[in-house]
């Protein structure tokens, strides 16, 4: 597009095409606009200022603030504007000034959320005005939603409807409505054990792909995936419970860990030392016949290392 503005300093009309170009430019730059970024379109300062003013008046953008300090965010000492979607802007233009103030306060809080006392403090509005605005934003426009904090059980905080609450606020995948969901964790543990048992051994990424696929196929589950760190937490629980064990890769050059199920007779007293089984570090583990029928492949009944581990009464001499 050619530069808006004619010669002789004549005032440029800000057309719909100019506004659309600015909006598309922001969408392509992480939904952010700044005077410097708009200069790359070849526009002079007067056009840029008027475009940003129009966006602000139409509630298409907000001044971006630093989440930690609450101060205006900037790039090279220039104010940065955060674009909103046209759908959200359309709803915002139907709000009263008080309702819009409340929305902006919640928007600034990001995924950490904010409760009504802090909204009142930020906006200077009376309690009943804030409460009414929150109700309108939630119920009438679906712009915000309440989230239960795991830290303060009886306090609701509010975030934008389009955001997921932070892990610090909601507790993450294993929490539901502010409460730890033990049934969900137990279900994941059972699936992990069943999968590892069916494969004999599994790498962490294999388990993650299976669990997320299974969750996506379960139409009754609201949760559709877990992260690698979430899975690692459950894996660690199973290791502590002596239900699975982590073993280094089958060959000496492999640094990858894999996981195996531990199965113990009910009569056996299981202790952490029980996992010191030579098979788990055996160089021929991959070819060992667990059926006890092979006369060619290595097998437990002919294994001198197994004999030594079970008897533990005489030194194992090299052949």
pLDDT reported for residue 155: 85
Q: Do 112 and 165 lie in a common domain?
A: yes
Tokens for 309?
């581990």
Task: Show which of 87, 106, 134 is a domain's final residue.
Answer: 87
Q: Do 194 and 221 lie in a common domain?
A: yes
Does some domain include residue 317? Answer: yes
pLDDT reported for residue 77: 53
Answer for the pair 52, 71: CB distance below 8 angstroms, yes or no. no
Order of all β-strands in the sheet with 32-33: 32-33, 81-83, 61-63
Does some domain include residue 283? Answer: yes
Strands (E), the chain: 32-33, 61-63, 74-75, 78-79, 81-83, 144-148, 156-160, 175-176, 179-180, 244-248, 257-261
Q: Do 56 and 82 lie in a common domain?
A: yes
Answer for the pair 64, 32: CB distance below 8 angstroms, yes or no. yes
What is the chain's mean pLDDT, rounded?
82
Predicted confidence (pLDDT) per residue in 129-138, tens digit: 999 999 999 9
Identify the residue whose tokens are 């603030």: 65
Does some domain include residue 2? Answer: no
Does some domain include residue 185? Answer: yes
pLDDT reported for residue 59: 96
Task: Show which of 144, 171, 198 is a domain's final residue.
Answer: 171
**Domain of residue 205, CATH code:** 1.10.10.10
Count of domains observed in the chain: 4
Q: Do 15 and 47 lie in a common domain?
A: yes
pLDDT reported for residue 46: 93
- Global pTM value: 0.68
Predicted confidence (pLDDT) per residue in 10-35, tens digit: 577 899 999 999 999 999 999 999 99
- Cα separation, 224 vs 236, in Å, equals 21
DSSP state of 158: E
Residue 187: which domain range? 172-270
Identify the residue whose tokens are 């790039």: 75
Q: Do 125 and 211 lie in a common domain?
A: no
Q: Do 262 and 294 lie in a common domain?
A: no
Stretch 55-76: mean pLDDT? 69
Q: Do 166 and 200 lie in a common domain?
A: no
Does some domain include residue 1? Answer: no
Q: Do 190 and 265 lie in a common domain?
A: yes
Task: Show which of 255, 270, 285 is a domain's final residue.
Answer: 270
Q: Do 44 and 32 lie in a common domain?
A: yes
pLDDT reported for residue 3: 57
Concatenated DSSP letters for 188-224? HHHHHHHHHHHHSSB-HHHHHHHHHHHHHH-TT-S--
**In the predicted structure, residue 284 carries a pLDDT above the cut 50:** yes
Beta-carbon neighbour count of residue 127 at 10 Å? 11
Predicted confidence (pLDDT) per residue in 80-125, tens digit: 999 999 999 999 999 999 999 999 999 999 999 999 999 999 999 9
**In the predicted structure, residue 268 carries a pLDDT above the cut 70:** no
């Amino acid at each position: 597009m050619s530069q808006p503005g004619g010669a002789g300093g004549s005032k440029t009309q800000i057309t719909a095409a100019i506004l659309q170009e600015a909006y598309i430019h922001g969408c392509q730059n992480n939904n952010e606009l700044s005077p410097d970024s708009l200069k790359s379109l070849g526009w002079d300062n007067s056009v840029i200022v008027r475009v940003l003013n129009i966006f602000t008046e139409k509630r298409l953008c907000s001044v971006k603030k630093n989440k930690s300090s609450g101060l205006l965010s900037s790039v090279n000492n220039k104010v940065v504007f955060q674009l909103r979607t046209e759908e959200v802007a359309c709803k915002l233009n139907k709000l009263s000034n008080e309702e819009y103030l409340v929305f902006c306060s919640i928007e600034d809080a990001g995924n950490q959320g904010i409760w009504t006392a802090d909204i009142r403090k930020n906006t200077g509005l009376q309690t009943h005005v804030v409460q009414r605005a929150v109700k309108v934003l939630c119920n009438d426009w679906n712009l915000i939603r309440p989230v239960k904090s795991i830290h303060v059980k009886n306090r609701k905080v509010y975030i934008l409807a389009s955001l997921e609450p932070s892990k610090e606020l909601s507790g993450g995948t294993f929490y539901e409505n502010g409460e730890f969901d033990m049934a969900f964790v137990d279900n994941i543990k059972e699936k992990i054990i069943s999968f590892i048992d069916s494969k004999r051994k599994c790498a962490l990424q294999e388990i993650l792909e299976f669990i997320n696929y299974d969750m996506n196929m379960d139409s009754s589950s609201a949760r559709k995936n877990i992260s690698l760190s979430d899975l690692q937490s459950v894996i660690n629980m199973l290791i502590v419970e002596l239900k699975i064990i982590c073993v280094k890769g089958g060959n000496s050059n492999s640094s990858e860990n894999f996981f195996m199920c531990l199965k113990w007779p009910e009569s056996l007293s299981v202790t952490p030392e029980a996992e010191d089984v030579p098979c788990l570090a055996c160089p021929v583990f991959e070819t060992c016949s667990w059926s006890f029928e092979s006369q060619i492949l290595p097998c437990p009944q002919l294994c001198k290392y197994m004999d030594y581990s079970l008897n533990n009464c005489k030194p194992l001499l090299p052949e």
